[in-house]
Chains A and B, each alone.
Chain A
Amino acid sequence: MIFRGRLLHPVFGVLVFAGLLLLVGGFQALDAAAALAVKPTQQASPLHPDLFLLDEDGVNVLESGKPVSTMQTCGTCHDTEFIARHSGHSQAGLDTLAPAGETSTGRPWDSSEGIFGKWDPMVYRVLSESGGAELDLGTAGWIQTVGARHVGGGPAAVSRDGTPLKDLPVRADDPETSWLDPESGQVRAWDWDQSGVVEMNCFLCHIAEPDNATRIEALQQGAFGWANTATLLATGLVERRGDSYQWNASAFSPDGTVPAGQLGIQDPVNENCGACHGLVHDQGDDPIVAISCDPSVRRTVTTGQIIGPERLSDSGMNLVGKEDLIRPWDVHAERRVECTDCHYSLNNPVYFQEAESARPEHLTFDPRRLELGEYLVQPLHDLARGPSLTDAVTPEQAGSMRRCDSCHSVESTHDWLPYKDRHLAALSCETCHVPDMYSNAARQVDWTVLRPDSFARGTCRGTGTTVGGQPVITGFQPAWMPRQEPDGTAPLTPHNLVTTWFWVAGDPAQPVRLTELEAAWFEGDEYAPEVIAAMDVNGDGELAEEELQLDTPEKVELIASRLTAAGVEAPRILGEIQPYSIHHTIATDEWAIQDCQVCHGDQSRVTQSFELAAYVPPGAEAAFVGGSTAIASGEIVASADGGLVYQPDIGSQQLYILGHNRVEWVDWLGGMLFVGVLIGIVIHGGLRVLSAMRQRGAAHEPATEPVRMYGVYERLWHWLQTLTIVALLFTGLVIHRPDVFGMFSFRGVVLVHNILAAILVVNAGLSLFYHVTSGEIRQFIPRPVGFFDQAILQAKYYLKGIFHSEPHPFEKTPGKKLNPLQQVTYFGILNVLLPLMILTGILMWGAERWPQFSALIGGLTVLGPVHSGVAWMLAAFIVGHVYLTTTGPKPLSSLQGMMFGTEEVEKGHLETQGGEA
C-alpha cells in the first residue's frame, strides 16, 4: 500500500493534468538535474536502483510532505533494523548503560561507555540519569548537543529501556521526556511527537554530498524529525522553508522516484567519515587552512591529525619550515587508501578474515564467504577497529582491524634495524612513523572559566609566534605512552594529552551545570561586574581571553562563592587528563625516525616530558581519566612556568634503552676501579723506576736463558683475544655513551660489537678446547697445597722484592708459566668474569631472539648493568695485566715471549714449585 490516491479528477482533467505534468515536470527535472552541482556521480554506485523516498508510515514523501524515513526508504531493500542494531555508531553505548559511577572511566557521573552517557569534556554537559541529580541533558538535549556527532538511531530513537521515544509517557522527572532550556534554566517537557526522533541517518555516510551543517542546525533547533531530510539539501530534492522543509517535486522523476545517481548513493568516502571524525581534506583546489583550537569545533583538534593527500607545503596553513615539508598530510590518503579500507564493515566479504584462533592450521585461506547480495541486505555497521577509546563499548571488536603489518611487509623493509624484533615489540609502528604532528591540537580545555559564548577557554599546543610576532603553527611531538593491545602487549604509542579543568559539585561529584556556571559568570549577556573587577588584569573593563584564568586563590574563591549563591553545593575544581592516541598522518619512510640516537642517547625521546596543562588553578589536581587503553605509568609534575608536565617512566614497562639507561653507581664504581688500578701501576712503576735508578751501580743483572715459552697457537689466540676485547670495550663504551661518541654511527657500532663478540666466543671456545685436550689447562688451576704460602711469597716479591731487584720467587717454565697470584686472577677472569660477560652479552642479544630467557633473569634492566660492571672490571684487569707483563727480568721480556714465542727467563731460582723444569 504505497500510494494513497489523491482526489479523483474528471478523466479529461486528469489526462490534461498528467500530460502537462509529464511535459513540464520532465523538462524541469532535466533542467534541475543539469543545474545541480551534484559532484562525483562517477563514484556513485552504478547498480543502485532508483528509489522512492518514504516517510515513517511508508508513504512517498511527495504525497505526505513529511520527513523522509531512512528506515523505511532504505529498508525497502536493506535490513535497516539489523543495521541499526549492529552499529556502534548508532548504539553509542546504549547497551552498556550502567548506574552512574560504574563505568570504566571511574567518573561518578558517567552512565555508559559510549558517547551516550560518557562525559566528553569538549561538550561538557552531562547526560542525566532518571532520579539522579538535577537535569542537565535529557535525551532531547543530548541529541541537540552530542547528537551532532551521532549518526542517529539508537538512543536518538529509542529510550534506555527499549521503548520508542514517541511512545514514552511524559513524566516530569524522566530525563527522556524532559528538557532544560539553556536560556531560562527552566525544565520543561519534551514532546517527541512534535519534534520527531532521529533515525539512523544513512545519507550522512552514503551519499556524495551530505549537508551536515544544515542537519546539525536542525538538530540544534530541536527539529529532530527533519534532520535526516536536511541532509539531502544539496541534492535539490528538498528545499528549506524557514524551519521546515518542502519536497521539490520537480527534482523527482515523473513516477515519483529519485534516480540513485541524483542522490549520489555510494560507499562512504573519506569526507563522509570526516564529517564527524576529523578534518579530511581530499583532493581539491582549495588549500587546507588551520584547524581551530576552539573546543567547540570538535574535529581533529584532539590529536591534530589531518587526513588529506595534499602536501604540507601546498597547504594554506602557516607552518614553520613549510617549504621543506613536501610530504603529504597522510600518505595513505595520498595513495588512495580510504578509511573503509582499514575500518571495514566486519562482515564485508572482501575484507572479512576469520580469526586466527578459529582457523585450522592446515588452512591458509578460507574462500567461503558471504555472497555480495546477502551482504548488501545485512551489512554489519560495526566497523573494524584497533583497541581504542571505544574498547569498553564494543570490547569484542577490539583488535578486529588489520594492523600495519597485515598489508606492509615489515621484514623486507626493516632489515637495516638492529634488534628489529625487540623494537617492534616495544614500540608500535606509529611511534617511529608519526614522530611529529605538524598541525596544532588541543592542549587544555578550561571549563572553570566561560567565554562570552558560554564555552570553555581552549588552549592549543603546536602554535607559536615568529620573531616578528606573527602567529605560526609549530606542530608538536606526541607523547609516547604504553597502550594496552588485545594481545597483551603494551607498546609505546604516540598520544596527545588534553587536560580539562572543570567545576564539580555535590557528592557524588557531578560537573557543575552550564546554567549554573553561566549564573556565576554572567549577569544577563555580559560578565558580572564583580567578575570583571576580579579578573580584569589590564584594567580596560573587558575580559580578554588571556584574562579568563583562575590563577589566584581569590579568583577561585570568588567563582566558588558565586556558584554557591547560584545553588551549587560544595563547588570545587577537578582536573582530568584524557589521552588520545594517534594512528594517522603517516608519511613515507624518509620522514620516519631512523636516527638511533633519537632514543639511544641521554636526551631520549622515550623519556621526554610532555606538556600538559598550561596553568593549574590553585588547589586543583589533575589525574588521568580511567578506562583508557593508554597506560599512564608516568608522573604528572609541575613545570617551571606554572603548568603541568607528564614525565614518562619506562622502568615500569621493563624498558631499558641501551645508551640511555644506566645504573650510575656501577659506572662510578667501575670507573673508580679503573682509575685506581691506573694510579696503582703508575705508583708501582714509578717506584720501580726510582729504585732502578738508585741501584744503577750495584745493579743485579739476573742471568737469563732463552726458553721457548709459547707456541704459535697460544700466541694467536692470545692476541686475537686482546684485540677483540679491546675493541669490544671501546665499542661497548660508545654504545653505553652514544652522546659522548656521537661521531660514530650507533647502528654500525652495535653491529661491530656483536660481530666481535661472536669472534671472541669462538676464539675462547677453541682455546678452551685446546687447553683441555692438551693438558695446558692444568697450569691455570691453583694447587691447594701450599697455595697460600706461595701466594704470599709472590705478593711479597711484588710489594718489596721487586724494588730491590731480588730474583723472582718462582721460575717460569713452559710447564709452569703462572705464579699463584696469576693463577688465581686468571681463574677469576676466565671462569667468572669472562663467562659472565659472554652470558650477559648473549642474553642481551637474546632479548631480541629469545625474550623469555632474558626476561627470566630480569631482562635488560639487570643484564645491562651487570654487563657494564664486568666490563669495567675487565678494563681494569687489562691495565693491570699489561703493566704486570713488565715484571719479567727485563720489562719487555714477557712481551717478547708472547710475540715471538721465546722468552728470556731467570736462571737458578730459590724454589721450583712442582711441575716440569
Chain B
Amino acid sequence: MRRRYVWILGLAVTLALILIPIAILFPKADPPRDNPTAALPVRKPATDHQPLLPGPYASGEEVTRVCLDCHAEEADEVMQSVHWTWESKPYQIPGHDEPVTIGKKNSLNNFCIGIQSNWAGCTSCHAGYGWEDADFDFGDSEKVDCLVCHDNTGTYLKGDAGLPVEGVDLAYVAQSVSWPTRENCGSCHFAGGGGNAVKHGDLDQHLIYPTEDLDVHMGGQDMLCTDCHQTEDHQVRGRAISVSFDQENQALCTDCHSQAPHEDDRINTHLASVACQTCHVPAGGTGDPTKMTWDWSTAGQDRPEDEHEYLKIKGSFFYEGDFTPEYFWYNGISDRYILGDTFDPSQPLNMNPLAGDIDDPDARIFPFKVHRAKQPYDTVYNYLLQPKTFGEGGFWTEFDWDQALRLGSEAVGLPYSGEYGFAATEMYWPLTHTVAPAGQALLCADCHSPDGRLDWQALGYPGDPMEWGVRSPAAPGETAQVSP
C-alpha cells in the first residue's frame, strides 16, 4: 500500500478501536414486546362502481345479475361459504351414527329457537334473496345478495325472505359497493335474536361508531370487522360457537398480538390458564343491555307490553347491561344440541356444552354470557320442539302453542306427541368483542380477592391459585402460551 494512503487504514483501525467496544457494551433497548399493527391487512383501494351500475334496478336479483358479469367467480365463492349455506360441513359427533351438520339452517337455539317453518321471517339476514321455504335453490347464483355486505350507503334494508324492502334505491346502493364496513356486518350480526344487542352480549349497534372506551379496536383504532375476520375468497375467518364445533380458521388475538405481549411477567404467566378476553373484556352488554333470560312460557298473555320486559308474541325477558360475565374452562371446542336429541327435563339443558377443563392444557378460563331460557319441548319424547312462530298458523298470529309446535314439527320432520311443556335451557355465548382499553382491564383484585369474580372451587382449583399455586404446566408439544 502506498505510504500516502496508509493513513486511511490507520484512521479505520483507530475508529474501530473506539467504536467496537462502545457498540458491544452500549445497552440495547428492549425490542417491543408487541407490534400488532404490522399484522393488519392492507386493503386495496376499492373500485368506483358508479359508472358500472347505472340502474335502475327493480329487484335484488337484477343487481346480482349485473354483478355476475364480472364477479361470477366471487358468486361461487359466496355460495360455498356459510353465509350462504347456513350450514357447516358434516361432523361425526358422539351420540349420532351419521355425521351431522349444524348451522342456522337446521339448529335450535334458545332465542327465537329455529328458522325451520319460519324461513321468510328469519332469512331477512340471509346473504341471498328469496329463501322463504325449504325448497330454496342454493345453486342459483343470481340469488346471491351482494349488496348486504358491500353496500356503503347505509340505506340498504332487507325484509322478509331476504328481499330488499320497498323504497330502497337499489341503483344508489349498488353504485356504492366497496369493502364491507362495520355497519354491513352489523346489520345482521348486531341484530341476532330478534333485535339490537339481544343475542351475543358483545355485539350491538354502538359498534358502528364506537368510542375507544367501548372497543379499543373498532373505536380506538377504527378497525373493521374484516381486519380480524380476514376474508379470503369470501371465506370469512372466524367461528361462532352456536354454529360451529371446532376452532378451525378461528380469528385469534394472537393473529396480530404477540404470544406474551405484557411488560409484566407476572401477567404473562396467566396466559397459560386465562384467555385474553377474560381480563380484556371485563363486562358484557357494555354498549346496549343484552337479553339474559327469555321465558317463552309466559307468551300469549294479554299483559302490558314492553320491548325489554314482556311481549305477547315472545314472552318475558330480562335485559342487563354492564354485567359481569360467567367464567368457564373452554378450549374452543363445544358440543351442540341437535334437533331430536333427548334430554332430562328436570335439569336445565345445556345446549352447547363447552369442552375443556382444568386438566386440559389447551383450555383457558373464558368469559361467557349465559343465556337462560324456557322453551317448548315434547314431554313424551323429551326433546326440544321447533315452533312455527312466523307466518300463517304461527304462534305470532294465532297464539296457539299446540298448533305452532305441530306445524313446526312437521317442517323439521320430528314426531310431535301433542303434549308439550317448557324446559329450562342455557346457552353459552363467548364474549370477545368490546375489548376495553388496557387502562380498564381487570386488576388482580378483581379475581384474587374474597369477593372476586372467579369461583375457584367450581373451576376445579382447591383455592385461589395465588395461594395454592397454578395448575400443572401444559404437556410438551402443546400450543399453550407460556410466558418466556
Contact = CB atoms under 8 A, between A and B. Distances in A.
Interface in B215-250: none
Contact of A751 (B11, B27, B444): B27
A326 interface: yes
B22 A755 contact: yes
Contacts of A416: 27
B449 A283 contact: yes
Interface stretch (A16-24, A718-726, A880-888): A718-726
Give the interface centre of A313, A336, A727, A763 by most chain B CB atoms within 10 Å.
Answer: A336
B95 interface: no
Given A42-B450, A336-B445, A588 B264 contact: yes
A756 B17 CA distance: 10
Interface stretch (B1-9, B165-173, B401-409): B1-9
Interface stretch (A502-510, A625-633, A899-907): A899-907
Contacts of B450: 40, 42-43
Contacts of A313: 439
Contacts of A758: 21
A716 interface: yes
Interface in B1-57: 3-4, 6-7, 10-11, 13-15, 17-18, 21-22, 25-27
Interface in A237-295: 282-283
A771 B22 CA distance: 27
B10 A283 contact: no
Nearest to B26: A751
A311 B443 contact: yes
A759 interface: yes
A447 to B, nearest CB: 40
Nearest to B22: A755
Contacts of A309: 443-445, 449
B26 A334 contact: no
A715 interface: yes
A820 interface: no
Interface residues of A, number: 40
Given A42-B450, A716-B14, A899-B7, A335 B444 contact: yes
Given A723-B14, A900-B6, A283 B22 contact: no
Contacts of B14: 716, 719-720, 723
A720 B17 contact: yes
Nearest to A42: B450
A748 interface: yes
B444 A334 contact: yes
Nearest to B446: A283
B70 interface: no
Nearest to A285: B451
Nearest to B450: A40
B466 interface: yes
A755 B21 contact: yes
B458 interface: no
A900 B18 contact: no
B368 to A, nearest CB: 22
Nearest to B17: A720
B25 A755 contact: yes
B475 interface: no
Contacts of A900: 3-4, 6-7
Given A336-B445, A719-B14, A901-B3, A752 B264 contact: no
B439 A716 contact: no
A590 B439 CA distance: 14
A328 B440 CA distance: 11
Contacts of B452: 283
Contacts of A42: 450
A333 B443 CA distance: 11
Interface string B437-474: 01110011110111110000000000000100000000
Contacts of B445: 282-283, 309, 333-334, 336
Given A334-B444, A335-B444, A756 B18 contact: yes
Contacts of B438: 326
B21 A326 contact: no
B448 A336 contact: yes
Nearest to B449: A283
Contacts of B446: 283
A716 B449 contact: no
A418 to B, nearest CB: 9
Contact of B13 (A43, A326, A716): A716
A601 B80 CA distance: 68
A334 B266 CA distance: 13
Given A336-B448, A715-B10, A748-B26, A723 B443 contact: no
A326 B439 contact: yes
A336 B466 contact: yes
Given A283-B445, A755-B21, A900-B4, A719 B26 contact: no
Contacts of A328: 443
Contacts of B448: 336
A309 B452 CA distance: 13
A309 B451 CA distance: 13
Interface string A691-723: 000000000000000000000100110011001
Contacts of A715: 10
A752 B21 CA distance: 9
Contact of B22 (A311, A747, A752): A752
A719 B8 CA distance: 12
A40 B10 CA distance: 77
A870 to B, nearest CB: 21
Interface in A819-869: none
B324 to A, nearest CB: 11
Interface in A878-914: 899-902
Interface in B406-456: 438-440, 443-446, 448-452
A322 to B, nearest CB: 11
B17 A751 contact: no
Interface string A576-619: 00000000000010100000000000000000000000000000
Interface in A549-590: 588, 590
Contacts of B444: 309, 334-336
A119 B188 CA distance: 72
Contact of B18 (A311, A335, A590, A723): A723
Interface string A300-341: 000000000111010000000000001010000111100000
A720 B12 CA distance: 11
A902 B6 CA distance: 12
Give the interface centre of B7, B22, B450, B451 by most chain A CB atoms within 10 Å.
Answer: B450
A277 B130 CA distance: 72
A299 B440 CA distance: 29
B351 to A, nearest CB: 32
A756 B18 CA distance: 7
Give the interface centre of B3, B17, B264, B466 by most chain A CB atoms within 10 Å.
Answer: B17
Nearest to B30: A416
A448 to B, nearest CB: 44
Nearest to B5: A900
Contacts of A719: 10-11, 14
Given A336-B449, A416-B27, A748-B26, A759 B443 contact: no
Contacts of B4: 900
Nearest to A331: B444
Nearest to A313: B439
Given A719-B11, A900-B6, A724 B18 contact: yes
Given A283-B445, A336-B449, A900-B4, 5 more contacts: A724-B18, A748-B27, A751-B27, A756-B18, A902-B3
Interface of A: 39-40, 42-43, 282-283, 309-311, 313, 326, 328, 333-336, 416, 588, 590, 712, 715-716, 719-720, 723-724, 727, 747-748, 751-752, 755-756, 758-759, 763, 899-902
12 contacts: A43-B450, A326-B438, A328-B443, A334-B444, A335-B444, A336-B449, A719-B11, A720-B18, A724-B18, A755-B26, A900-B3, A900-B7
The 10 A-B residue pairs with the shortest CB-CB distance in the complex, in nearest-first order: A326-B439, A309-B445, A40-B450, A283-B445, A899-B7, A43-B450, A719-B14, A720-B14, A283-B449, A335-B444
